[in-house]
Amino acid sequence: MHEPNIVLLAGGISSRMKRSAAVVANETLRNEAVGKSKAMIGVGAGQRPFLDYLLSNVQSAGYRDVVLLIGENDTGMREYYNRRNKGGFLKEMDIRFAEQKIPPGRTKPLGTADALLRALESRPDWKSQQLTVCNSDNLYSVGALRLLLESPASNALIKYDLEALRFPPERIRQFAVIRTDSDGYLTDIIEKPSEEQWKSVSGRPGVSMNIFRFNYNDILPFLRAVPLHPERLEKELPEAVRMMVQARPRSVKTYERAEYVPDLTTVEDIPQVQQYIRENFEGMML
C-alpha cells in the first residue's frame, strides 16, 4: 500500500525573495514579493497563487492527506486554503496545518529539518507510514510526485539532472549535490557545497531539490538529532538525510529525472514561472 501522505514546507520567511524586491521597478511584483510568502505570490490568471498549481499536481499524482507547514504568523495561507478546500478543486484532499515557531532570540525559524519535525509531530497517526516532503516554492511535476508516492523503497529522493533544470551555475550551487553508489543508493548529500566538494563528485553530479520520500519512523530520530549548521545556524533537512545514510547505508534510494522545475527564489523568477503556468495550465479548471 502506498500511503498518500505529503508535507509541503511553507514556513520560511522568504528572505531572499524580499531582499531581491528592493531593486525591482515593477510595483506589482515588488508588492507581491514583500507582502506574501513565496508560495502565495500570484503567478496565475486572476492572481492565483503559486501553491494552487503545486497542490493541483500533488492531487493529480494521487496524494490525499496533506500537511501545510506554515510560519506561526502566517494566517493568509490557512484562511485561503480553509476556503478553497471546501468543495473546490482540492476537494479530493484533506489539507491540515502545522506551525513552525521562531524560537526566542532568533529572527527566523530553525530550518527545514525542524520544519519537517514539527509537521510529523502534528501527525502521530502517520507513525510507521511513508510520506513525501517537498518545498512549497518549487513546482514539482506530477510524474516526480507520483514516482515517490509509488516507490517501493522506504526512503527515497529525486536526483535531478543539472542541465535539464536550466538554471544558471550560481543557482545550481545553492542546491544540495548528491553522491550515489553503483546501485543508485545515496551515499552522501551536501547542502550548498563548496567548489572543492563539487569537484570531488565523480561522474556527472545530480542535485536535490528537496523532494524526498521517508518512512516516518526512519527519519524522525535524525530530525531530532541534527545539529545547527555552524555558519547558517539552521537545522537542514539534507544534513538529517546525510546522518541517516551514514548510520544506515543503502537506506535511501535515488531516482534520476531530467526536467525543468520552476523555482521561486527571487523576484526575477516570477515572470518565468508565470510563463510556465500559462503554457502548462492553460484551460485547466482550478
pLDDT-derived band of residue 101, with 50, 70 and 90 as boundaries?
Answer: very high
pLDDT of 25 reads: 47
**pLDDT over threshold 80, residue 24:** no
Which pTM value belongs to this model? 0.92
pLDDT-derived band of residue 28, with 50, 70 and 90 as boundaries?
Answer: low
**pLDDT over threshold 90, residue 84:** no
- Write out pLDDT tens, residues 7-21: 999 986 555 555 555
- Write out pLDDT tens, residues 103-123: 999 888 999 999 999 999 999
pLDDT higher at 125 or 44? 125
pLDDT of 187 reads: 95
Q: Which of 25-39, 41-55, 134-148 has the highest mean pLDDT?
A: 134-148
pLDDT higher at 1 or 39? 39
Average pLDDT score, the chain: 88
- Write out pLDDT tens, residues 64-79: 999 999 998 887 899 8
Please state at what angle helix 50-61 crosses helix 142-149, rounded to 10 degrees.
50
Number of neighbouring beta carbons within 10 Å of residue 183: 8
E-strand stretches of the chain: 5-10, 65-71, 94-100, 130-135, 156-161, 176-180, 186-190, 206-208, 211-215, 253-257
Number of neighbouring beta carbons within 10 Å of residue 47: 11
SS3 103: coil
For the chain, domains (ranges, CATH) are 5-281 (3.90.550.10)
pLDDT of 210 reads: 95
Q: How many CA atoms lie within 13 A of 281 on its CB side?
A: 24
